Amino acid sequence: MAVESLATEMDTAVRVVHLASSLCVKVQEKLRLPSSTNGGHVKSKDDDSPVTVADWGVQAIVSWVLAEVFGGQSLSIVAEEDTESLSKAESLGLLGAVSNAVNEALSEAPKYGLPKPDKPLGSTEILEAIGRCNSVGGPKGRHWVLDPVDGTLGFVRGDQYAVALALIENGKVLLGVLGCPNYPLKKECLSNGCNQTTTSKPAAGSVLKGCVMYAKRGTGQAWMQPLVAGGISESAATLLKVSSVDDPALATVCEPVERANSNHLFTAGLANSMGVRKQPMRVYSMVKYAAIARGDAEVFMKFAQSSYKEKIWDHAAGVVIVEEAGGVVTDAGGRDLDFSKGVYLEGLDRGIIACSGQVLHEKIIGAVYASWESSSL
Ligand SMILES: Nc1ncnc2c1ncn2[C@@H]1O[C@H](COP(=O)(O)O)[C@@H](OP(=O)(O)O)[C@H]1O
Ligand SMILES: [Mg+2]
């Protein structure tokens, strides 16, 4: 399938990520309320990671909109959440909260240039929409890949998170969209969480943080639109360009906040050995890919424990956006990430390295080889 023919796919994906981001903003605001009034918005999954009304809500609206626009019959969506815990009798209250969030968001869909249901969706339809996203991807055909709320820990902590939607065809990521509702105007605020609203007053209908980034494979362009309340500011898209810094001494390295998700000691040694001087910028979620694409950081490294298998929805959208903005993304052996093997990035060599350019990338790959032997991973 030629990339030029993806106009409707790209347009719909950007619009639905704007809509989904607006749902997330509202749910995150509610999370700041005392737990008795926030509707019990956070649950624990089997692996103890949190899941919220926003995770299920976003998955439901993206699934519903994609099915409306492209037809539900042959639609394949690979996404993070399932309906198991949400369908249990004791989750009735939670399902009600998800339904409210979904129907509130979908009632606004026309303002985002998207269809809306004739009447509010019932619980069964919502569970169906969430449950439809149970595809496992693979080497053939077209698969939408969704992480409804990436960095859920950041989300529940009032920090960075992303809505990530990508389209894979025959194992290649053709387009990616990243909604980053807390992405600050100033890059310093990415890691220290400056209070955006105290710096100046947002103009009516707009906010000082938040954007949607998107790119189509092979165009050599990645774009950013601001997130505005109640719709899309069509005229305000700007081109993204990676940083031109190629001196490690001037480079900013970003990595996951959680030690459990990446070996901070190993990446510190790597950074040190190649002459990086700045402290790492620790940020939740795929916002790290956004930071590379926007030129706010030069390197993103993630070295998970060897027992952990990276999932395609945690990388697909970010990879195409960084690459089209001029950057490079590979595993630690310098090979492209393989999105053709199903839900997991099978065959990933040790870790993930996203860079603003070839020079830094080659230095890091070299440093990985030099230091791997002595690491304890
Ligand atoms: N033990 C582990 N090692 C590495 N990554 C992990 C992990 N457990 C969860 N993750 C992934 O790391 C993502 C968060 O990224 P980061 O640490 O960069 O903020 C999680 O996404 P979700 O929050 O969508 O589950 C999850 O997919
Ligand atoms: Mg994720």
Name the stretches of the chain with pLDDT < 50. Answer: 1, 197-200, 206
How many whole angstroms from its chain centre is CA 6? 20
Q: Using a 6 Å cutoff on CB, does residue 83 contact ligand 1?
A: no
pLDDT value of position 166: 98
Annotated binding site for Mg(2+): 80, 147, 150, 314
Inter-residue contact 147 to 133 (CB < 8 Å): no
How many whole angstroms from its chain centre is CA 290? 9
**What does the radius of gyration of the chain's CA atoms come to, in whole angstroms?**
20
Give the Cα separation of 72 and 224 in Å (integer): 29
Could you tell me where the DSSP H helices lie in 108-225? 123-131, 152-156, 189-192, 196-199
pLDDT value of position 5: 84
Distance (angstroms) between ligand 1 centre and the Cα of 70 equals: 30
Give the Cα separation of 318 and 311 in Å (integer): 13
pLDDT value of position 38: 53
Give the HSE-up count for residue 20: Cα atoms under 13 Å, Cβ half-sphere.
34
pLDDT value of position 199: 38
pLDDT value of position 345: 98
Give the Cα separation of 61 and 80 in Å (integer): 14
Inter-residue contact 217 to 301 (CB < 8 Å): no
Q: Using a 6 Å cutoff on CB, does residue 303 contact ligand 1?
A: no
SS3 (DSSP) at 218: coil
Give the Cα separation of 322 and 101 in Å (integer): 31
Give the Cα separation of 215 and 260 in Å (integer): 30
Predicted TM-score (pTM) of the model is: 0.94
pLDDT value of position 255: 98
Distance (angstroms) between ligand 2 centre and the Cα of 305 equals: 16
Q: Using a 6 Å cutoff on CB, does residue 249 contact ligand 1?
A: no
- Tens-place pLDDT, residues 195-214: 554 334 555 554 579 999 99
- Tens-place pLDDT, residues 230-285: 999 877 899 999 999 999 999 999 999 999 999 999 999 999 999 999 999 999 99
Which mutation among 47, 80, 81, 150 tests ligand 1's pocket best, with the greatest number of atoms within 8 A of CB?
A: 150
Which residue minimizes the CA distance to atom 4 of ligand 1? 261
Q: Using a 6 Å cutoff on CB, does residue 29 contact ligand 1?
A: no
Q: What is the pairing mode between strands 206-216 and 222-228? A: antiparallel
Q: Which numbered atom of ligand 1 lies nearest the CA of 151?
A: 23
Q: Using a 6 Å cutoff on CB, does residue 261 contact ligand 1?
A: yes
- Residue whose token pair is 């509707």: 39
Closest residue by Cα to residue 377 from 272, 213, 263: 263
Ligand at minimal distance from the CA of 291 is 1
Task: Give the catalytic positions in this structure.
Answer: 55, 152
Which residue minimizes the CA distance to atom 17 of ligand 1? 256
Q: What angle is formed at CA 376 by the lines to CA 370 and CA 377, rounded to 5 degrees?
A: 90
